[in-house]
């Protein structure tokens, strides 16, 4: 079992759970986690858009978690694990780096959101990259 990919998978699963909480608890959670005032306001108005966007994010994060846990040896190996994990690692890495360039143009989000979320994405990317390197030959 590859502990780095287990941790990476758990991080993605935790992020998915937080997004589920945003749907369940609504506007206060959207605000607290930095989704932006427009998402929080739409949630307060009972609009479907925040829920649909958040459900899509949950689906992606859950799939990413499953792929990391699969490659770690916790679950049955999923198809194209090597390629998919390369893409996942790249997305987390690029999202982490890109967020620091958005500090002056927060797109409705706070500077704190960009710093924290980008730092977290970089950490998750690091776990994916190290774990992927360790398991490369067995995937």
Rounded CA separation 48/52 (Å): 6
pLDDT digits (tens, 9 = 90+) for 65-102: 999 999 999 999 999 999 999 999 999 999 999 988 88
pLDDT of 21 reads: 98
pLDDT of 46 reads: 95
pLDDT of 98 reads: 92
Rounded CA separation 17/88 (Å): 18
Q: Left (φ > 0), alpha (ψ -120 to 50) or beta: where does 90 sit?
A: alpha
pLDDT of 106 reads: 67
Structural element, H or E, at residue 49: helix 49-72
pLDDT of 134 reads: 97
pLDDT of 102 reads: 81
- CA dihedral 61→46→44→116, nearest 10 degrees, is 10
The residue ranges of the chain whose pLDDT is under 50 are none
Q: Which residues of 56-86 are buried (b: 16+ CB within 10 A; e: fewer)?
A: ebbebbbebbbbbbbbbeeeeebeebeebbb
pLDDT of 113 reads: 86
Rounded CA separation 38/102 (Å): 18
């Amino acid at each position: 079992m590859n502990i780095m990919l287990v941790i990476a998978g758990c991080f993605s699963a935790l992020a998915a759970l937080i997004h589920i909480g945003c749907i369940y608890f609504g506007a206060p959670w959207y605000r607290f986690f930095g989704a932006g005032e427009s998402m929080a306001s739409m949630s307060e108005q009972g609009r479907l858009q925040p829920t649909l966007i958040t459900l899509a994010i949950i689906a992606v994060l859950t799939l990413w978690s499953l792929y990391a846990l699969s490659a770690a040896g916790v679950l049955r190996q999923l198809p194209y694990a090597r390629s998919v994990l390369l893409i996942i690692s790249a997305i987390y890495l690029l999202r982490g780096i890109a967020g620091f360039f958005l500090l002056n143009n927060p797109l409705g989000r706070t500077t704190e959101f960009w710093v924290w979320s980008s730092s977290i994405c970089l950490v998750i990317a690091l776990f994916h990259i190290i774990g992927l390197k360790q398991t490369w030959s067995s995937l």
